Protein backbone atom coordinates (compact mmCIF):
# COMPACT_ATOMS: atom_id res chain seq x y z
CA UNK A 1 0.00 0.00 0.00
CA UNK A 2 1.47 3.34 -1.03
CA UNK A 3 2.04 5.88 1.77
CA UNK A 4 -0.09 9.00 1.13
CA UNK A 5 2.63 11.19 2.69
CA UNK A 6 5.92 10.09 1.12
CA UNK A 7 4.60 7.73 -1.60
CA UNK A 8 6.77 4.85 -0.36
CA UNK A 9 5.33 1.48 -1.44
CA UNK A 10 6.11 -0.34 1.80
CA UNK A 11 3.98 -0.18 4.94
CA UNK A 12 3.17 -2.49 7.81
CA UNK A 13 -0.26 -3.28 9.23
CA UNK A 14 -0.60 -2.28 12.89
CA UNK A 15 -4.26 -3.19 13.43
CA UNK A 16 -7.10 -4.80 11.45
CA UNK A 17 -10.77 -4.92 12.35
CA UNK A 18 -14.08 -5.54 10.67
CA UNK A 19 -16.42 -2.63 10.09
CA UNK A 20 -19.93 -2.24 8.66
CA UNK A 21 -21.03 -5.64 10.02
CA UNK A 22 -18.14 -7.41 8.30
CA UNK A 23 -18.69 -5.74 4.94
CA UNK A 24 -15.23 -4.16 5.04
CA UNK A 25 -11.94 -4.37 6.89
CA UNK A 26 -10.28 -1.30 8.39
CA UNK A 27 -6.48 -1.48 8.50
CA UNK A 28 -4.28 0.91 10.45
CA UNK A 29 -0.89 1.10 8.71
CA UNK A 30 2.50 2.64 9.33
CA UNK A 31 4.91 3.65 6.56
CA UNK A 32 8.31 1.93 6.92
CA UNK A 33 10.09 4.94 5.36
CA UNK A 34 8.60 8.04 7.05
CA UNK A 35 6.90 6.40 10.06
CA UNK A 36 3.58 8.19 9.53
CA UNK A 37 0.34 6.29 10.10
CA UNK A 38 -2.71 6.08 7.85
CA UNK A 39 -5.91 4.05 7.52
CA UNK A 40 -7.08 1.95 4.60
CA UNK A 41 -10.35 0.10 3.99
CA UNK A 42 -10.73 -3.16 2.14
CA UNK A 43 -14.15 -3.87 0.59
CA UNK A 44 -15.62 -6.43 -1.75
CA UNK A 45 -15.71 -5.09 -5.29
CA UNK A 46 -19.41 -5.31 -6.11
CA UNK A 47 -21.06 -5.20 -9.50
CA UNK A 48 -22.76 -1.80 -9.62
CA UNK A 49 -26.49 -1.76 -9.08
CA UNK A 50 -28.29 0.40 -11.62
CA UNK A 51 -31.62 2.16 -11.10
CA UNK A 52 -33.93 2.38 -14.11
CA UNK A 53 -35.81 5.68 -13.96
CA UNK A 54 -39.38 6.21 -15.24
CA UNK A 55 -38.09 7.75 -18.47
CA UNK A 56 -35.78 4.78 -19.13
CA UNK A 57 -32.54 6.45 -18.05
CA UNK A 58 -30.18 4.38 -15.91
CA UNK A 59 -28.07 5.69 -13.05
CA UNK A 60 -26.03 4.06 -10.29
CA UNK A 61 -27.89 3.15 -7.11
CA UNK A 62 -27.41 5.94 -4.55
CA UNK A 63 -28.27 5.16 -0.95
CA UNK A 64 -28.08 8.88 -0.15
CA UNK A 65 -31.04 9.61 -2.45
CA UNK A 66 -33.23 7.22 -0.45
CA UNK A 67 -31.93 8.66 2.81
CA UNK A 68 -32.61 12.25 1.71
CA UNK A 69 -36.14 11.43 0.57
CA UNK A 70 -36.97 9.73 3.84
CA UNK A 71 -35.39 12.55 5.86
CA UNK A 72 -37.59 15.07 4.05
CA UNK A 73 -40.70 12.98 4.70
CA UNK A 74 -39.80 12.59 8.38
CA UNK A 75 -38.92 16.24 8.93
CA UNK A 76 -40.26 17.53 12.27
CA UNK A 77 -41.55 14.06 13.17
CA UNK A 78 -40.51 12.16 16.31
CA UNK A 79 -38.30 9.73 14.41
CA UNK A 80 -34.64 9.27 15.29
CA UNK A 81 -31.89 9.38 12.70
CA UNK A 82 -30.86 5.89 13.81
CA UNK A 83 -34.34 4.56 12.97
CA UNK A 84 -34.16 6.19 9.55
CA UNK A 85 -30.66 4.78 8.93
CA UNK A 86 -31.87 1.29 9.89
CA UNK A 87 -34.81 1.67 7.49
CA UNK A 88 -32.48 2.66 4.64
CA UNK A 89 -30.25 -0.33 5.48
CA UNK A 90 -33.24 -2.69 5.23
CA UNK A 91 -34.34 -1.17 1.92
CA UNK A 92 -30.84 -1.40 0.46
CA UNK A 93 -30.44 -5.03 1.62
CA UNK A 94 -33.79 -5.92 0.05
CA UNK A 95 -32.84 -4.30 -3.25
CA UNK A 96 -29.38 -5.94 -3.34
CA UNK A 97 -30.76 -9.34 -2.27
CA UNK A 98 -32.83 -9.36 -5.46
CA UNK A 99 -29.64 -10.45 -7.28
CA UNK A 100 -30.51 -8.34 -10.29
CA UNK A 101 -28.13 -5.73 -11.66
CA UNK A 102 -30.99 -3.33 -12.34
CA UNK A 103 -33.96 -2.22 -10.26
CA UNK A 104 -36.72 0.20 -11.18
CA UNK A 105 -37.07 3.45 -9.28
CA UNK A 106 -40.72 2.47 -8.84
CA UNK A 107 -39.79 -0.69 -6.94
CA UNK A 108 -37.54 1.34 -4.64
CA UNK A 109 -40.29 3.93 -4.07
CA UNK A 110 -42.78 1.20 -3.16
CA UNK A 111 -40.31 -0.29 -0.66
CA UNK A 112 -39.80 3.11 0.94
CA UNK A 113 -43.56 3.66 1.20
CA UNK A 114 -44.04 0.20 2.71
CA UNK A 115 -41.52 0.97 5.47
CA UNK A 116 -42.84 4.49 6.08
CA UNK A 117 -46.43 3.22 6.34
CA UNK A 118 -45.33 0.97 9.22
CA UNK A 119 -43.33 3.74 10.89
CA UNK A 120 -45.30 6.99 10.69
CA UNK A 121 -48.56 7.91 8.93
CA UNK A 122 -47.61 11.56 8.38
CA UNK A 123 -44.20 10.72 6.91
CA UNK A 124 -45.87 8.11 4.69
CA UNK A 125 -48.42 10.60 3.32
CA UNK A 126 -45.70 13.21 2.74
CA UNK A 127 -43.57 10.74 0.79
CA UNK A 128 -46.57 9.32 -1.11
CA UNK A 129 -47.74 12.78 -2.15
CA UNK A 130 -44.43 13.42 -3.88
CA UNK A 131 -43.76 9.88 -5.10
CA UNK A 132 -47.25 9.33 -6.52
CA UNK A 133 -47.39 12.93 -7.78
CA UNK A 134 -50.79 13.85 -6.39
CA UNK A 135 -52.27 16.41 -8.74
CA UNK A 136 -55.37 17.32 -6.79
CA UNK A 137 -56.94 17.15 -3.34
CA UNK A 138 -59.20 14.22 -4.32
CA UNK A 139 -56.23 11.93 -4.95
CA UNK A 140 -54.73 13.04 -1.63
CA UNK A 141 -57.98 12.26 0.23
CA UNK A 142 -58.18 8.82 -1.46
CA UNK A 143 -54.72 7.97 -0.12
CA UNK A 144 -55.68 9.15 3.37
CA UNK A 145 -58.84 7.00 3.31
CA UNK A 146 -56.84 3.93 2.26
CA UNK A 147 -54.40 4.58 5.08
CA UNK A 148 -57.29 4.91 7.54
CA UNK A 149 -58.71 1.52 6.39
CA UNK A 150 -55.33 -0.16 6.88
CA UNK A 151 -54.92 1.28 10.38
CA UNK A 152 -58.31 0.12 11.63
The pTM assigned to this predicted structure is 0.66
With cut-offs at 50, 70 and 90, classify the pLDDT of residue 99.
confident
Average pLDDT over residues 134-148: 83
Q: Give the domain ranges of the chain.
A: 11-43, 50-151
Cβ atoms of residues 124 and 117 within 8 Å: yes
Element (H, E) at 73: helix 63-73
Give the C-alpha separation, 38 to 34, whole Å: 12
User: Does residue 73 carry a pLDDT above 90?
Assistant: yes
Cβ atoms of residues 40 and 30 within 8 Å: no
Give the C-alpha separation, 82 to 128, whole Å: 22
Amino acid sequence: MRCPFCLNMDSKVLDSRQTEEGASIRRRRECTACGKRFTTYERLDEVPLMVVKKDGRREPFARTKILNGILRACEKRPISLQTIEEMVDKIEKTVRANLEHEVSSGAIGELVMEHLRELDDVAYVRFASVYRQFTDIDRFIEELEQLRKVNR
